[in-house]
Structure 1
Amino acid sequence: MGRKTDVLFVTAFAIAAASPARAADRQSIDLAPGRLGEAVVALGRQTGASIGMSDQSLAGIATPAIRGRMSTAGALSQLLRGSGAKARQIDASTWRIVRARKSAPPPSPTPAAAVQLAPVAQEPPADIIVTASKRDIPLPRYAGMVETVTGGLFETADAAQGTAALLSRVASLSSTHAGAGRNKLFIRAIADSGVAGPTQATTGQYLGDMRLNYAAPDPDLRLYDVGGVEVLEGPQGTLYGAGSLGGIIRIIPNAPNLAQFGGQISTGVSATQHGDPGGDLSAILNLPIVAEKVALRVVGYGVQEGGYIDDVLRDKDDVNRTRTYGGRATLRIAPADDWTIDLSTAYQHIEGDDAQYASREVGRLERASSVAQPYHSDYILANARIEHQWDDLRLVSSTGYVRNVLAESYDATQPGGAPALFRQRNKVELFSTENRLVRDLDNGLGWLLGVSYLESTSTIQRSLTGYGPLSAPAIEILPGVPVYGRGRPATATGVRNRIKEATLFGEASFEPLQGLVATVGGRLTNSRLSGEAIDPVAMLSTVADLARVEAQADRSETFFLPSFSLLSDAVKGLTLYARFEQGFRPGGLAVDDQRARSFRNDRISTMELGFRKGVPGRDTVALSGNVAYTDWRDIQADVTDRIGLPTTANIGDGRIYTVEGRIVVRPIPPLTLDGSIIYNDSRLTQPAQFVRALSYEGRSLTLPNVANLGGRVAADYRAPLGDDMRLHLSASARYVGKSRLGVGPILGREQGDYVDTAVSAAITRGPVELSLSLTNLFDSDGNRFSLGTPFDLSTDYYTPLRPRTVRIGLDFAF
């Protein structure tokens, strides 16, 4: 009956919202003849785009009148025709006008009555600008490996998947798979472990300029109304500070349009083989409040992912259903031509009915648990961003607050004992502010200087609940923690960590020789750390012991992280680069065997060599490759204590070799073929004493959770069907190689070695789009993650791919 009810609910949910989909990029534009400086200001206000100039002498160029319905790119193309200048697209809503290499005499003004422009049939591909560099560097002059996923590649079905859509597109990005809102993300092989403890993430995540996480998993925000995503690989310590050991992921939301009302409604229904149905609904609204001065952009969404794991012990089907709902809102204020103020907020709630794992001993997509293991995540963000542009200088100030609460539960039932449930609640509060002054030029040169301040508090609380009768025989599950029975919880030891960071950072690029760009940078950070135990178990902790470890955690540390790179583009179309960068994470307190123990900071250094030829999406063939060596000292890892619970310790020193490459081919303009591969060789070269004692007689160990080999192939086809219809077809396959869950024999089980596949098709006519997508075409049962419950590490648990799933979607733009 429950499944039939879900079908009716999801179907009604979709039909009720079924207004179709995708907003056209073309807008009504009306520009009077005049000068380029005034024209781009007016164009920006009419389209909501941010348009700047690298050379203010261009502002005096005479421009014609432009009237008609066209895209921002088309309007700029007409505006700059024959002017000796060109427009470069930085992201979905930001453009920079630069002087072309060969200047042409500016045209004389064209009479307004003589110009009635029609839209351009097909816009030329725009250059890729790496905005996550914080200096808007053109891709050919960025010294590093970067993956850019443009907003045009995110269909509504992809947006509903959140981070999973990025994992399917970026070969160097990997994840644990404990469930939405609970996962840890890794770039390259910079991974500590698969279990969740109080360590800071190895991958930094940002929404615009606002940091999304600190000592918490990936919040897995859904990617609705997103202009693009940038993934910078390798340490990013100079620009992003602590917690960017492997790299950073920057999500670029679409900005409010100051001039035009519009929006979009999207809906879809999905059916999962062996499981429950699902559905998704989203709405986007752009509302100008004061013409060309104030606008509000709002997005709201709800997603239900049907369950597909059966629990045979409790006789329940499809127990792992997940619901997600949330939204974002941004108020943009443009008090003057060179000032922009964005006030943003985001909220998301994830509710998981049960854990995502199965047991091969029981059967495919089945397990036997004594109790349900639900979890939920509450995430809220508020941010104020101010930008001021004058001449070729730019001031950016971003200040915000994040509150992330993740509540998890694990089956703690022991053999012969009554059902028991262990609960853990991790609450992270983060305040951060960054202010930087930037001078970025269109040739990749320039500098930036910034200051930042961050405060983060992470509070982990734990409890154990028994569900047997009071008369049941006592079986110790956690030392010193009673089992009351009848659903009464008993408190276990928790921990609270606080950190305050004050930072001064800077970077500069210069060209000592023609075609050779040198970049130097550094970050000076002072961190003040403190930690304390919460509700320590009395029989295992004394006042003296706690005072000692808390004193170890209460300390001040100062770090300097240097960086430098050399880049050559002396050969036309070919970029060669060498780069050195560092990163670090501060230490803190963790709970080990119900005792509070301290762990030290870790530090990483990476040297890499790479090349790039061509720009993906613009050139017929684009190639890139990279070889990197990483030295990782005092590695912080979330491991398990003797009880089996997550804790954090320094497991020793390690090294990582990485080789990766990518090719993007456009044999014909409508078709893009994309292939990438990555190989990682990681070793724990100097294991800590406790790791050496527990495993393999001191032999070097593979670092956890990142496959030694990965790759992806994809095809994307976009073409018109008649005058007002367009067809979009895509297909992809990603291979995830073998990896291990953790370090040592207990967590040494293999995972990975599977292929994930997807195909999709969409037809757009005017404002309406109908789409069909299919994931896991071959209904593969690959093991994404080998952790079930930490209280049972002997059972062959695995986390299967979501079975074959089909989705039908309908979008409507207005």
Structure 2
Amino acid sequence: MGRRADLPIVTALVIAISTPASGADRLNIDIAPATLGQAAIALGRQAGISVGMSDQSLAGVRTPAVRGRMSAEMALRHLLRGTGARAQRIGDDGWRIVRARPVAPPAAATLPPRPVAPPPDAPPAEIIVTASKRDIPLPRYAGMVEALGDGAFTTAEASAGSATLLARVASLSSTHAGAGRNKLFIRAIADSALAGPTQATTGQYLGDMRLNYAAPDPDLKLYDVGRVEVLEGPQGTLYGAGSLGGIIRIMPNAPNLAQWGGQMSAGLSATGHGDPGGDLSATLNVPIVAEKLALRVVGYGVQEGGYIDDVSRDRQDINRTRTYGGRAALRFAPDDGWTIDLHAVYQHIDGDDAQYASRSVGRLQRASAIAQPYFSDYLLGNVRIEKRWDSLRFVSSTGYVRHELAESYDATQPGGSPALFRQRNRIGIFSTENRLVRDLDNGLGWILGASYLESTSDLHRSLTGFGAALAQPEVIPGVPLYGNGRAAPATGVRNSVKEATLFGEASFEPVRGLIATIGGRLTNSQLSGEALDPVAALSSSDLARAEAQANRDETVFLPSASLLTDAIPDVTLYARFQQGFRPGGLAVDDQRVRRFHNDRASTIEIGARKGVPGQDVFAASANVAYTDWRNIQADVTDRIGLPTTANIGDGRIYTVEGRVVLRPVPSVTLDASFIYNDSRLTQPAAFVRALSYDGRSLRLPNVASLGGRVAIDYRTPVGGDMDLHLSGAARYVGTSRLGVGPILGQTQGDYVDTSLSASLTRGPVQYSLALTNLFDSNGNRFSLGTPFDLRTDYYTPLRPRTVRVGIDFAF
């Protein structure tokens, strides 16, 4: 009886606003994935309209996220896409949602997101590039961007963390020292494979909060994440230092103000030649005060089985990794367009040993004198405040990060007892940003903001011997090897930076179909550095001189400009210029404290885009870019073999990228992408020329000249009450080098990584099966073993063939 179309409108879902908006007015809409009942309430509040239903059973149907500047009518069409419902206008500011055709009712009002193929005549949802900070529709964004997620990652993808992003984005690459130790690179903006005090070339963000500074990727797991955007760089105008290659912005699902609910997942995995693993997660959403205050909590634990054997110590599967952590978000939505979000994140990673092997010993085997464990401990707190007016938004984001990464390397010398070199990097980041935004609408939009950042990195080092103290060969000059497990401190460094910034960007449309954008960022940096636990061999005058050079005040201006036209229907053409930089600091070189200087990258690119990937029958994008990179900072090794940082010279990079996405039928998506990089160190620094190939240009490290990815995705209803999802992908990573010069000249890469997954969803339950490295390829993801032995044939293999079975339950 509740399904009769002539029943009265359900008054419980009618939202009356004192200042109604016309259905044709373009409004700022921001609705998270939810049920149709929740989404209708949110749309009524945001658009100032009344929304009702003739059939209460529709209230539990899941709806996608709708974000961007659009009319209330268009927002309703996006929400109702694929739901079997349609909207009828009632008066100037009222709408009634009715059933369009008979479909099976939902099993519960809290069903998990299910893949539903939209009907052929449904309008595609507009993709909004939120990482641009101005919510720009994809056809009007001048640059290469990949938006991942479309509502949620599978639990298998979520448990893999950053590895999932690497598998999906051809322009994204990484080192593979281990979870929580890797450096991520976008395009070919890669400095080195080693981990030192340099700032990352890729900026990483959780919402508006910066995740890292002078540290590797924290590798946060992607549970309950609705979307990830990867913007190619530089992105200096909007994101400042450390965005030479681009930025990765993770957007977790926001608390739902209207409905209780949650999800639990469990998975078991088996790795060929190795240990089993598993993962658990739980998400809970609690509305504390309906439509005003809600809490969302996520917790998880992941164990990845080891697969490397150490023949010297007669140990098997030594590289087991355990990760546990969680997030909590509290959302408060008072009246008058205010939204206040509080976020907290904690994650801990423990690695039992390093994950490299030696080809001369055997596949997935090596011979080490001692274990090389590591851990990463990560804590983040953030408060974000947003106020919306008719055409303006004010956003304020303030937070603090405490990140600690402890690593160890086998420093055993030939004929000596086991020795272990340890380094521990403690990073603190305080940042705040306040901006006023007018989102791009009819070719006009702007942003004006100010930010302040303080970051401190304390890098402590020590050397420990585990044999007798007598007759031990020297490992590090000036550092004693006491033996018997006693640690001796080695010289470390502290680097501090304070950045105060003003930035702005504006777009205008001088003629119809042509959008011009100009912007700039003015940053004042106060830099300081000092030695920690200096060895006795260092003179006080040397230390004072280095620290005096490190203490300085610098002002940097980063301009940007772009032109874009969408005058050709369904086609975007653009040209863009952008810059980025990283501040300098102090590093330890041959047990001496030395300064390294700022570097700066300038990129010019032209590109084209047609269609919307995954929605249109044919969609494609391509671009060509040239990057001039001056005074490149790189983490290298000194003569002892210890990681250090230096400016290695000037370089240039040519990049060509392309992507084609086909959707021949609504249930099938074919995706193919490639990237070609030609990177050269054209003007090597004097010490690089002395160590390597004087007079020749050298390839920049860690990014392959050629890479590509192909994938297929198939979604279809099965039996009327189930959904089947199949996907498969293969990614090729070409050859690259560990570093510059003969010592770090080992080659890596030239492998294919493959995956296959299947899931079956029925009501609130989903069963899944995932298979990675289908052909059990060995490969070589990373050439570095220990920096104290750079001549052994070390390599880091792909994780052997792994199968995971999982179950998810929504409630």
Query: Given that residues 707 and 736 in structure 1 are in contact (C-alpha distance below 8 angstroms), is that contact kept between their aligned partners in structure 2?
Result: yes
Cα deviation for residue 119 of structure 1 reads 9.2
Match of 2:472 in 1: 474
Q: Does 1:321 align with 2:320?
A: yes
Residues 745-777 of structure 1, C-alpha deviations (whole Å, 9 max, x = no match):
000000000000000000000000110010000
Within 5 Å, give how 1:624-635 maps onto structure 2: 624-635=621-632
Within 5 Å, give how 1:452-467 maps onto structure 2: 452-467=451-466
Match of 2:809 in 1: 812
Query: Given that residues 393 and 438 in structure 1 are in contact (C-alpha distance below 8 angstroms), is that contact kept between their aligned partners in structure 2?
Result: yes
Residues 697-752 of structure 1, C-alpha deviations (whole Å, 9 max, x = no match):
22000000000000000001111012210000000000000000001100000000
1:86 and 1:751 map into 2 onto residues whose CA distance is 48
2:656 and 2:175 map into 1 onto residues whose CA distance is 22
Query: Given that residues 778 and 804 in structure 1 are in contact (C-alpha distance below 8 angstroms), is that contact kept between their aligned partners in structure 2?
Result: yes
Aligned residue for 2:438, secondary structure, equals strand
Match of 1:69 in 2: 59
Match of 1:31 in 2: 13
Match of 1:5 in 2: none
Query: Given that residues 193 and 702 in structure 2 are in contact (C-alpha distance below 8 angstroms), is that contact kept between their aligned partners in structure 1?
Result: yes
CA separation of 1:248/1:522 partners in 2, compared to 1, >3 Å: closer, same or farther? same
Matched to 1:69, the amino acid is A
Match of 2:3 in 1: none
1:113 and 1:682 map into 2 onto residues whose CA distance is 58
Residues 376-412 of structure 1, C-alpha deviations (whole Å, 9 max, x = no match):
0000000000000011100000000001000000000
2:78 and 2:644 map into 1 onto residues whose CA distance is 46
Cα deviation for residue 474 of structure 1 reads 2.5
Q: Does 1:108 align with 2:95?
A: no
Within 5 Å, give how 1:68-217 maps onto structure 2: 68-71=58-61, 73=63, 85-86=74-75, 107-108=90-91, 123=118, 124=122, 125-152=124-151, 154-217=153-216
2:291 and 2:169 map into 1 onto residues whose CA distance is 38
Relative to structure 2, which stretch is displaced further, 144-153 or 620-629?
A: 144-153
Aligned residue for 2:694, secondary structure, equals helix
1:74 and 1:451 map into 2 onto residues whose CA distance is 33
Match of 1:749 in 2: 746
Matched to 1:311, the amino acid is D
Matched to 2:91, the amino acid is S
1:38 and 1:525 map into 2 onto residues whose CA distance is 43
2:64 and 2:627 map into 1 onto residues whose CA distance is 45
Q: Does 1:551 align with 2:534?
A: no
Cα deviation for residue 36 of structure 1 reads 10
2:735 and 2:712 map into 1 onto residues whose CA distance is 25
Aligned residue for 1:784, secondary structure, equals coil
Match of 2:681 in 1: 684
CA separation of 1:433/1:119 partners in 2, compared to 1, >3 Å: closer, same or farther? farther
Cα deviation for residue 336 of structure 1 reads 1.4
Q: Does 1:517 align with 2:531?
A: no
Question: TM-score, normalised on structure 1?
Answer: 0.90
Task: Select which of 723, 727, 730 maps to 1:730.
Answer: 727
2:600 and 2:564 map into 1 onto residues whose CA distance is 25
CA separation of 1:676/1:473 partners in 2, compared to 1, >3 Å: closer, same or farther? same
Query: Given that residues 404 and 427 in structure 1 are in contact (C-alpha distance below 8 angstroms), is that contact kept between their aligned partners in structure 2?
Result: yes
Q: Does 1:572 align with 2:547?
A: no
Structure scoring higher RCO (CA < 8 A, sep ≥ 6) equals 1
Relative to structure 2, which stretch is displaced further, 293-302 or 143-152?
A: 143-152
Residues 409-440 of structure 1, C-alpha deviations (whole Å, 9 max, x = no match):
00000000111000000010000000000011
Matched to 2:14, the amino acid is A
CA separation of 1:545/1:462 partners in 2, compared to 1, >3 Å: closer, same or farther? same
Query: Given that residues 602 and 633 in structure 1 are in contact (C-alpha distance below 8 angstroms), is that contact kept between their aligned partners in structure 2?
Result: yes
Cα deviation for residue 116 of structure 1 reads 7.4
Cα deviation for residue 335 of structure 1 reads 1.6
CA separation of 1:408/1:74 partners in 2, compared to 1, >3 Å: closer, same or farther? closer
2:523 and 2:463 map into 1 onto residues whose CA distance is 39
CA separation of 1:733/1:527 partners in 2, compared to 1, >3 Å: closer, same or farther? same
Cα deviation for residue 126 of structure 1 reads 1.4
Cα deviation for residue 86 of structure 1 reads 4.0
Match of 2:650 in 1: 653
Task: Select which of 22, 38, 56 maps to 1:47.
Answer: 38
Match of 2:7 in 1: none
Over aligned residue pairs, what C-alpha RMSD do you find? Answer: 2.7
1:49 and 1:355 map into 2 onto residues whose CA distance is 51
Match of 1:25 in 2: none
Query: Given that residues 63 and 107 in structure 1 are in contact (C-alpha distance below 8 angstroms), is that contact kept between their aligned partners in structure 2?
Result: no
Within 5 Å, give how 1:300-449 maps onto structure 2: 300-443=299-442, 445-449=444-448
Within 5 Å, give how 1:199-278 maps onto structure 2: 199-278=198-277
Aligned residue for 1:698, secondary structure, equals coil
Query: Given that residues 33 and 65 in structure 1 are in contact (C-alpha distance below 8 angstroms), is that contact kept between their aligned partners in structure 2?
Result: no
Query: Given that residues 626 and 653 in structure 2 are in contact (C-alpha distance below 8 angstroms), is that contact kept between their aligned partners in structure 1?
Result: yes
Matched to 1:597, the amino acid is R
1:445 and 1:257 map into 2 onto residues whose CA distance is 32
Cα deviation for residue 667 of structure 1 reads 0.4
Aligned residue for 1:697, secondary structure, equals coil
2:795 and 2:97 map into 1 onto residues whose CA distance is 69
1:114 and 1:84 map into 2 onto residues whose CA distance is 12
1:119 and 1:410 map into 2 onto residues whose CA distance is 64
Residues 574-605 of structure 1, C-alpha deviations (whole Å, 9 max, x = no match):
10000000000000000001111000000010
Query: Given that residues 304 and 321 in structure 1 are in contact (C-alpha distance below 8 angstroms), is that contact kept between their aligned partners in structure 2?
Result: yes
Aligned residue for 2:650, secondary structure, equals strand
Relative to structure 2, which stretch is displaced further, 477-486 or 42-51?
A: 42-51
Query: Given that residues 507 and 515 in structure 2 are in contact (C-alpha distance below 8 angstroms), is that contact kept between their aligned partners in structure 1?
Result: yes
1:388 and 1:52 map into 2 onto residues whose CA distance is 17
| Matched positions, count | 767
Cα deviation for residue 361 of structure 1 reads 0.9
Cα deviation for residue 639 of structure 1 reads 0.4
CA separation of 1:672/1:42 partners in 2, compared to 1, >3 Å: closer, same or farther? closer
Residues 198-232 of structure 1, C-alpha deviations (whole Å, 9 max, x = no match):
00000000000000000000000000000010000
Match of 2:111 in 1: none
Matched to 2:524, the amino acid is N
Aligned residue for 2:640, secondary structure, equals coil
Query: Given that residues 426 and 459 in structure 1 are in contact (C-alpha distance below 8 angstroms), is that contact kept between their aligned partners in structure 2?
Result: yes
1:152 and 1:113 map into 2 onto residues whose CA distance is 26
Aligned residue for 2:333, secondary structure, equals strand
Aligned residue for 1:158, secondary structure, equals helix
Cα deviation for residue 507 of structure 1 reads 0.4
Match of 1:781 in 2: 778
Cα deviation for residue 246 of structure 1 reads 0.2
Matched to 2:170, the amino acid is A
Relative to structure 2, which stretch is displaced further, 611-620 or 32-41?
A: 32-41
Query: Given that residues 370 and 418 in structure 2 are in contact (C-alpha distance below 8 angstroms), is that contact kept between their aligned partners in structure 1?
Result: yes
1:451 and 1:707 map into 2 onto residues whose CA distance is 37
Q: Which runs of 5+ in 2 are unaligned?
A: 1-9, 22-26, 82-86, 104-115
Relative to structure 2, which stretch is displaced further, 117-126 or 345-354?
A: 117-126
Cα deviation for residue 108 of structure 1 reads 2.2
1:152 and 1:431 map into 2 onto residues whose CA distance is 30
2:77 and 2:572 map into 1 onto residues whose CA distance is 19
Q: Which runs of 5+ in 1 are unaligned?
A: 1-27, 93-103
Question: TM-score, normalised on structure 2?
Answer: 0.91
1:563 and 1:112 map into 2 onto residues whose CA distance is 44
CA separation of 1:788/1:135 partners in 2, compared to 1, >3 Å: closer, same or farther? same
CA separation of 1:37/1:281 partners in 2, compared to 1, >3 Å: closer, same or farther? farther
